Amino acid sequence: MTKIGRNDPCWCGSGKKYKKCHAAFDAKLMDPAFNGHPVPDHRLILSAEQIEKIKASAAVNKGALDYVAERIGVGTTTQEIDDWVHEYTVSHGAIPAPLNYEGYPKSVCTSIDEVVCHGIPSSDRVLKEGEIVNVDCSTILDGYYSDSSRMFCIGVVSPEKKRLVEVTREAMYKGLEAVKPYGFVGDIGAAVKAHAEANGYSVVRELGGHGVGLEFHDDPFVSHVADAGEGMVLVPGMMFTIEPMINMGEADVWFDDSDGWTVRTVDGQPSAQWEIQVLVTTEGYEVISD
Ligand code: MF3
Ligand code: CO
């Protein structure tokens, strides 16, 4: 970081003098209490204008998930879900972020039962009574990114799978409630893990939440198995996802090389995931996409 003079223009682009703008904000991060903790660089502190643009992206993202929610059921193919998301997103002037992302072939991820995440939609895959499916939508509008996912129960689902879906949602909200300015990224994972394990489930370690807004996947990495008080300092203006993947059985997952994307539980037992996009505020947090 280059040293900025107190009378220089602030790094945030406000046009105000640094001493009248973000000087106190930066000083707070210098506090010795944060020694050893990664501190977000200025790029990760979003301006009010950037936040507005990301909220517009999130409105489309949430709309796409609502559109799916109104239609999904027994007999839906995962390709139909892809078509709905693609059509909804494009007709709202946006781009599905997954499409062509690092070679991903579709517009949405659909992850059924033992699929942990990144399931690829297919016209051969028909949703059956009793299945649980995660639909993960990500949107680019005007260059700004949004990302959230929801679980859907198809027809009548066993009480065991229903409980997994509910506890995973609760775990995500426990993580959300742990978000507070000048707390730590590790507080989130600690809260998620405690809730999942108290209910007899295990938490996927290899994948986590991520900074989002200016990029699809940015810093910080948000582990769902972290320790409270560890990791990057949470600073107002940071935005990231919380997206725990919770397994009914063992935590271990495997990455399917045959399609390069699908992640599955090693023991074949079901996994659930919910994803929320959140902004750190001076008071606590604000949900951006869910
Ligand atoms: N939407 C996923 C996430 O929550 C990322 C999917 S990458 C894709 O981070 F290429 F598979 F779409
Ligand atoms: Co995500």
pLDDT in tens, 184-220: 999 999 999 999 999 999 999 999 999 999 999 999 9
* Residue to mutate (ligand 1; options 101, 102, 134, 149; most atoms within 8 A of CB): 101
Which residue(s) pair with 286 in the sheet? 279
Task: Please report the pLDDT score of residue 29 as a whole number.
Answer: 86
C-alpha pair distances (Å), 204 with each of 109, 144, 168: 17, 28, 12
Query: Do residues 126 and 34 touch, judged by C-beta distance below 8 A?
Result: no
* Number of other residues whose CB lies within 10 A of the CB of residue 91: 9
CA of 62 to the centre of ligand 2 (A): 14
Beta strand 245-247 pairing with 271-273: antiparallel
Task: Please report the pLDDT score of residue 2 as a whole number.
Answer: 62
pLDDT at residue 1 above 60? no
pLDDT digits (tens, 9 = 90+) for 237-247: 999 999 999 99
- Give me the amino acid identity at 165: V
pLDDT category of residue 35 using cuts at 50, 70 and 90: confident
* Number of other residues whose CB lies within 10 A of the CB of residue 270: 23
Say which DSSP state 121 is in: P
E-assigned strands of 177-233?
A: 202-203, 209-211, 218-222
CA distance 281 to 236: 4
C-alpha pair distances (Å), 285 with each of 38, 92, 290: 20, 27, 13
CA of 214 to the centre of ligand 2 (A): 13
Beta carbon of 80 within 6 Å of any ligand 1 atom: no
pLDDT at residue 31 above 80? no
Residue 116, φ and ψ in degrees, nearest 5: -80, -45
CA of 241 to the centre of ligand 2 (A): 6
CA of 189 to the centre of ligand 1 (A): 19
SS3 content of the chain, % helix, strand, coil (to 5): 30, 25, 45
CA of 210 to the centre of ligand 2 (A): 6
User: Hey, whose CA ends up nearest to atom 11 of ligand 1?
Assistant: 118
Beta carbon of 147 within 6 Å of any ligand 1 atom: yes
User: Hey, whose CA ends up nearest to atom 7 of ligand 1?
Assistant: 98
pLDDT digits (tens, 9 = 90+) for 64-95: 999 999 999 999 999 999 999 999 999 999 99
- Is the pTM of the predicted complex or chain greater than 0.85? yes
User: Which range has the worst mean pLDDT, 23-32, 42-51, 128-137?
Assistant: 23-32
Query: Do residues 165 and 81 touch, judged by C-beta distance below 8 A?
Result: no
pLDDT digits (tens, 9 = 90+) for 92-151: 999 999 999 999 999 999 999 999 999 999 999 999 999 999 999 999 999 999 999 999
Q: What is the mean pLDDT of the chain?
A: 97
Q: What percent of the chain has pLDDT over 70?
A: 98
C-alpha pair distances (Å), 144 with each of 40, 48, 57, 108, 216: 19, 13, 6, 17, 8
Beta carbon of 243 within 6 Å of any ligand 1 atom: yes
Query: Do residues 281 and 170 touch, judged by C-beta distance below 8 A?
Result: no
Query: Do residues 13 and 50 touch, judged by C-beta distance below 8 A?
Result: no
Say which DSSP state 119 is in: P
Task: Please report the pLDDT score of residue 163 as a whole number.
Answer: 99
* Residue to mutate (ligand 1; options 106, 109, 148; most atoms within 8 A of CB): 109
CA of 57 to the centre of ligand 1 (A): 16
